[in-house]
Amino acid sequence: MNLSVLKYVVFLIGISVSYAQDIYVETSLSSASFEDFKDESGVNTLENKYSSPVELGIGIGAILNVTENNRLKWDLGLNFNKYKINTSFKALNTSIPTEYNLNYVSLKTGPYFSLINHSIVKLQLHAHSSLDYLIFGSNQYSDVYDDLLDGKNFSKLVVNYHYGVAVEITLSDSSSLYMSYDSKNGLTNSIDDDESYRLNATSILMGFRFKLNKLHTFSKLYKKK
């Protein structure tokens, strides 16, 4: 990733944390697939008949309150995701299995809205967008290994939109546990300027949220002791 872009991302997250009410850490289990693939003739030559492996991801982020009742919040997060996609392509009358391994660093942002905003349990909807950068990519089939970072034929930058639902359970005055379902849908990307595809993923996430004001209070009390 370009160093100036990385510095901008770190600066943006740092500024967000300074104004945030909550921070969070999370893990995810994700499966991905290529959708709407078209070759240079406009024909879909990929077959999604194989099972989708589940891969582990991690993330951190900050949440800002938008409304006084805390029903509407804004999320800014940084995630690392691994995807393994088993598919096949057609060569003449033969179907050749192929495996893609993709690692992305992702910057996501968007709102949370609590349909249920109880002090103990919250039911939240989210609609996010994200910018994913490919840091490792490979394609293997037969005796062939392709490094997808070598050259400019495979899209390294992917724009996505997300939607999903989360349940948050309060554990204490300073922390909560949440589980979330997320559907990520990529915009159309290109390969060699004559092929196109969309990368979609579904994820189950689990994490902890910590209230910064409570953490600061506990830190002051500890120092006094």
pLDDT of amino acid 108: 93
| Cα–Cα distance measured from residue 130 to residue 157, given in angstroms and rounded to the nearest whole number | 10
Task: Please state whether 20 falls in left (phi above 0), alpha (psi between -120 and 50) or beta.
Answer: beta
What confidence tier does 216 reach under pLDDT thresholds 50, 70, 90?
A: very low
Instruction: Report whether pLDDT(189) > 50.
Output: yes
Cβ-contact 154, 190 below 8 angstroms: no
Question: Which of residues 70 and 5 earns the better pLDDT score?
Answer: 70
Beta-bridged to residue 86, according to DSSP, are 99
Question: Which of residues 3 and 176 earns the better pLDDT score?
Answer: 176
Question: Which of residues 161 and 223 earns the better pLDDT score?
Answer: 161
pLDDT of amino acid 26: 98
What confidence tier does 217 reach under pLDDT thresholds 50, 70, 90?
A: very low
Q: Name the nearest CA neighbour of 165 among 132, 122, 109.
A: 122
pLDDT tens, residue by residue, 113-130: 999 999 999 999 999 999
What tokens does 163 get? 């939607």
What confidence tier does 155 reach under pLDDT thresholds 50, 70, 90?
A: confident
Residue 182: Cβ within 10 Å count: 19
Residue corresponding to tokens 């991690």: 58
Instruction: Report whether pLDDT(68) > 50.
Output: yes
What confidence tier does 9 reach under pLDDT thresholds 50, 70, 90?
A: low
Is residue 68 helix, strand or coil? Answer: coil
pLDDT of amino acid 94: 80
Instruction: Report whether pLDDT(222) > 50.
Output: no
The DSSP output letter for 92 is: T
pLDDT tens, residue by residue, 98-107: 899 999 999 9
Instruction: Report whether pLDDT(95) > 70.
Output: yes
Instruction: Report whether pLDDT(194) > 80.
Output: no
pTM of the model: 0.84
Maximum average pLDDT range among 62-71, 186-195, 212-221? 62-71
Domains annotated on the chain, with CATH: 3-224 (2.40.160.20)
C-alpha separations of 14 from 111, 183, 192, 201, 215 in Å? 19, 27, 37, 28, 17
